[in-house]
């Protein structure tokens, strides 16, 4: 008897003809929360908008030929000189805010997801190694993790960007250094339990190479908590990147992420032109909240302790 059937005994009856795979069970448990499902849908839309920004955006905000300085700082809904409506207004250079946000999302999501992915690989590898090797290796890696986590993320990122200077690559490096420790700690915790299981012993008896045991046997069994942490860290990375860009330490002006768009609107806001900062912020907020909602539900579904 699986959990899904036990939970909703009566309504599950007509579905019995379907074979219940772990994946189907996971999907149906995830879909139990309508809010999380909504978050997933919203995030999918955001991701699609970011991917196809160059197709659906009314203008290319980086192509100076398409910008009309005469259309600068127009209110949302005004019809511009080129004939189309600026639904979210324009910035000081006559750039359509809606297009700017779509392209900005692209950079924010790329930096957020990219850094989370690299940090995940680095952190998970070190966490696995720490748990599997134990002893001195474990002590050194975990001391490093403890040291890093005792400083707030913004401070570490600030320090690294003060060393390296601005740039998309440098922001990614800073975010990876900030985040790897979370992955390492999570993976080590799970791997410490898993490495005492029989299948690891069996793999060792077969004299498999260590890297094979680590990545083919140990890692797949440490995935659930890793996925939860990774989801949450993507949201954190996006927020941190936006903050750094707002402070002028993040992405360069030629590749404006949402944070930089918000920063650009700062000076105009004091004269009441709110839209330059307001809408990119809403886009940022919706992105972060939708990811967090999905992550919250993933944690509930993937956590074996919460299952009855």
Partner 1 sequence: MAVYLVRRLMQALLVVLAMSIIVFVGVYAIGDPVEILISPDADQLERERAIRALGLDLPLWQQYLVFLTNALQGDLGRSFVFNEPALKLILQRMPATLELAFGAMFLSILIGLPLGLYAGLRPNSAASKTIMAGSILGFSLPTFWVGLMLIMVFAVQLGWLPSTGRGETCSVLGFIGLQPCSAGLQWSWLTGDGLAHMVMPAINLALFKISLVIRLTRAGVRETMLMDYVKFARAKGLSASRVTFVHVFKNILIPVVTVVGLELGSTIAFSVVTESVFAWPGMGKLIIDSINVLDRPVIVAYLMIIVMMFITINLVVDLTYSLLDPRVRLENKGT
Residues in the chain: 308
Report in angstroms how near the CB of residue 259 gets to partner 1 at its nearest: 8
Report in angstroms how near the CB of residue 154 gets to partner 1 at its nearest: 6
The one segment of 64-72, 98-106, 182-190, 262-270 that binds partner 1 by CB under 8 A = 262-270
The one segment of 14-22, 130-138, 153-161, 222-230 that binds partner 1 by CB under 8 A = 153-161
Report in angstroms how near the CB of residue 182 gets to partner 1 at its nearest: 15
How far apart (Å, rounded) are the C-alpha atoms in residues 287 and 235?
Answer: 8
119 touches partner 1 by CB under 8 A: no
The closest of 192, 181, 217, 188 to 202, measured between CA atoms, is 217
Report in angstroms how near the CB of residue 133 gets to partner 1 at its nearest: 18
152 touches partner 1 by CB under 8 A: yes
How far apart (Å, rounded) are the C-alpha atoms in residues 287 and 126?
Answer: 30
Report in angstroms how near the CB of residue 298 gets to partner 1 at its nearest: 15
Work out which of 121, 140, 155, 169 binds partner 1, going by CB under 8 A. 155
243 touches partner 1 by CB under 8 A: yes
Helices (H), 64-207: 97-133, 135-149, 153-164, 168-194, 198-205
Report in angstroms how near the CB of residue 287 gets to partner 1 at its nearest: 10
What is the per-residue binding string for partner 1 in 156-185, x denoting contact by CB under 8 A?
--xxxxxxxx--------------------
What is the per-residue binding string for partner 1 in 267-296, x denoting contact by CB under 8 A?
--xxxx-x--xx--x--xx--xx--x----
Report the DSSP beta bridge partners of residue 155.
none
Q: How far is CA 23 from CA 19, 27, 294, in A?
A: 11, 6, 17
On whether the CB atoms of residues 2 and 26 are closer than 8 A, the answer is no
Query: Around Cβ 282, how many Cβ atoms within 10 Å?
Result: 13
**Between helices 34-51 and 22-30, what is the axis angle to 10°?**
100
Nearer to partner 1, 67 or 113 (CB): 113
Cβ burial, residue 79 (10 Å; 0-12/13-18/19+): exposed
On whether the CB atoms of residues 24 and 5 are closer than 8 A, the answer is no
151 touches partner 1 by CB under 8 A: yes
Quote the tokens at residue 71.
């259309």
Report in angstroms how near the CB of residue 110 gets to partner 1 at its nearest: 18
What distance lies between CA 12 and its chain's CA centroid?
Answer: 34
- CA end-to-end span of the chain: 12
Nearer to partner 1, 114 or 259 (CB): 259
Nearer to partner 1, 225 or 280 (CB): 280
Question: 217 to 236, contacts with partner 1 by CB under 8 A?
Answer: 235
266 touches partner 1 by CB under 8 A: yes
How far apart (Å, rounded) are the C-alpha atoms in residues 305 and 11?
Answer: 25
User: Could you list the residues that contact partner 1 (CB under 8 A)?
Assistant: 147, 150-152, 154-155, 158-165, 235, 239, 242-243, 246-249, 259, 262, 265-266, 269-272, 274, 277-278, 281, 284-285, 288-289, 292
């Amino acid at each position: 008897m699986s959990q899904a059937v036990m939970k909703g005994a009566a309504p599950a009856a007509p579905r019995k003809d379907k074979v219940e795979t772990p994946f189907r069970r996971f999907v149906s448990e995830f879909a139990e929360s309508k809010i999380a499902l909504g978050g997933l849908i919203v995030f999918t839309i955001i991701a699609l908008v970011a991917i196809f920004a160059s197709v659906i955006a009314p203008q290319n905000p980086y192509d100076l030929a398409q910008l009309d300085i005469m259309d600068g700082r127009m209110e949302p809904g005004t019809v511009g000189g080129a004939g189309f409506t600026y639904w979210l207004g324009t910035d000081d250079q006559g750039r359509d805010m809606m297009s700017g946000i779509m392209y900005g999302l692209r950079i924010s999501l790329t930096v957020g997801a990219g850094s989370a992915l690299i940090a995940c690989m680095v952190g998970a590898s070190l966490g696995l190694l720490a748990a599997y090797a134990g002893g001195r290796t474990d002590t050194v890696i975990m001391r490093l993790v403890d040291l890093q986590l005792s400083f707030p993320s913004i401070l570490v990122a600030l320090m690294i960007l003060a060393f390296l200077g601005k740039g998309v690559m440098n922001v990614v490096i800073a975010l990876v250094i900030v985040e790897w420790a979370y992955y390492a700690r999570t993976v080590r915790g799970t791997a410490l339990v898993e490495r005492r299981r029989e299948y690891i012993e069996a793999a060792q008896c077969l004299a498999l190479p260590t890297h094979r045991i680590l990545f083919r046997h140990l890692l797949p069994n440490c995935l659930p908590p890793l996925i939860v942490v990774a989801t949450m860290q993507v949201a954190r990375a996006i927020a941190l990147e936006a903050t750094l860009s707002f402070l002028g330490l993040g992405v360069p002006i030629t590749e404006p992420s949402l944070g930089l768009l918000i920063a650009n609107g700062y000076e105009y806001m004091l004269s009441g032109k709110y839209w330059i900062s307001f809408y990119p912020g809403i886009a940022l907020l919706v992105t972060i909240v939708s990811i967090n909602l999905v992550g919250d539900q993933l944690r509930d579904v993937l956590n074996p302790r919460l299952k009855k």
